[in-house]
Amino acid sequence: MSNKKLAGILGICMALIIAVVAIATLPPASGEPDDGDADGNNAFHINVIPETPEQINGESFFKQSIPGQHFVFLVTITDEGEECELPVRISAKAPGAEVVIYQQDIVEGQVAEVVIIPAPASVGTRIEVTITGTRGSASDEKAVSFEVAEGEDDRQEYAEMLLDKFVSWLATNHTELEITDATAWNGTMVSPRWLVVSHYLFFSEEWEAHIEWHIMMPPDDWARIDLRHRFDELAPSYAFEISSVSATSEPIPIEVPETVWR
């Protein structure tokens, strides 16, 4: 083969290589998906439960708490477009209250808990909470608020007695939950203005337990528990009732509530 022909072939090959490299480095055309989400800039929005204030007939109704109560918001994220494997970091601000966050980094399908603890000086005020999610340069935020009333926790002792009854029964009859008499729980009052039916929340490492009981004479002195798996469920998945506490009735399964109690 002559040098002239060889040079021509080499020239054509070089031109093809340059063309391929140029095409590969072009940005995607408008409307085409871009796989470059390694920086975590995928858009998303955050969801908060409960939404407070709640709008009823055009009026705003605020949930209430008392100083020292742990007001627990559940936070999830929803990716816009394809689901992203990189987590969103949850943060919160609440002037006049302490903020504690459990499972601060979440992806779609996981649940963070934002706990707001009003200070004694916040009685008579409204706690304004801003919850923010950030991933790369993408962010979203939600504003919620609740009122702080004067009061103290006068239900803890009875609530703990009821929890012990349910836990002992669950340890024997629902071993799949891995709840035993040795499970450690932290409790907080909730819904301080409810009188006929009282409510209390307990948290173990894995479970949220909502205890409610009827302030009535036997045989109407029932008590109930519902259980939510903390970091991957937004609603309870188990519920049981003692039909009469004074009659030492055995717990029985009941219909599971559709939402958490707050």
pLDDT tens digits, 6-56: 444 445 545 544 444 444 444 444 444 344 455 668 999 999 999 989 888
Structure tokens at 64: 């209430």
CB-based contact 144:46 (threshold 8 Å): no
HSE toward the beta carbon, residue 10, CA cutoff 13 A: 7
Alpha helices in the chain (DSSP H): 3-24, 156-173
- What is d(CA 163, CA 27) in angstroms, rounded to the nearest whole number? 60
pTM given for the model: 0.83
Lowest-confidence segment of 57-66, 182-191, 238-247, 252-261 by average pLDDT = 57-66
| Size (the chain), residues | 262
Residue indicated by tokens 């935020």? 141
**pLDDT of 177 above 80:** yes
For the chain, state the CA radius of gyration. Answer: 27
Tell me which H or E stretch contains 202: strand 197-203
**pLDDT of 112 above 50:** yes
- What is d(CA 158, CA 212) in angstroms, rounded to the nearest whole number? 11
Q: What does DSSP say about strands 64-65 and 138-148: parallel, antiparallel, or unpaired?
A: parallel
Sheet with 88-93, strands from edge to edge, namely 64-65, 138-148, 126-135, 88-93, 105-106
186-208 pLDDT, tens digit each: 999 999 988 789 999 999 999 99
Q: Report which listed range, 33-37, 236-240, 246-250, is most confident.
A: 236-240
- What is d(CA 195, CA 215) in angstroms, rounded to the nearest whole number? 8
Give the whole-number percent of the chain exceeding pLDDT 70.
85
Phi and psi at 134, nearest 5°, equal: -135, 135
Burial of 157 (0-12, 13-18, 19+ CB in 10 A): exposed
- Residue range 69-96: mean pLDDT, rounded: 96
Dihedral, CA of residue 123, residue 73, residue 99 and residue 63, to nearest 10: -10
Q: How far apart are the first and last CA of the chain?
A: 86
Closest CA to 100 of 42, 164, 186: 186
Burial of 208 (0-12, 13-18, 19+ CB in 10 A): buried
Measured on CA atoms in the order 100, 102, 105, 108, is the torsion positive or negative? negative
CB-based contact 223:211 (threshold 8 Å): yes
Measured on CA atoms in the order 65, 53, 56, 50, is the torsion positive or negative? negative
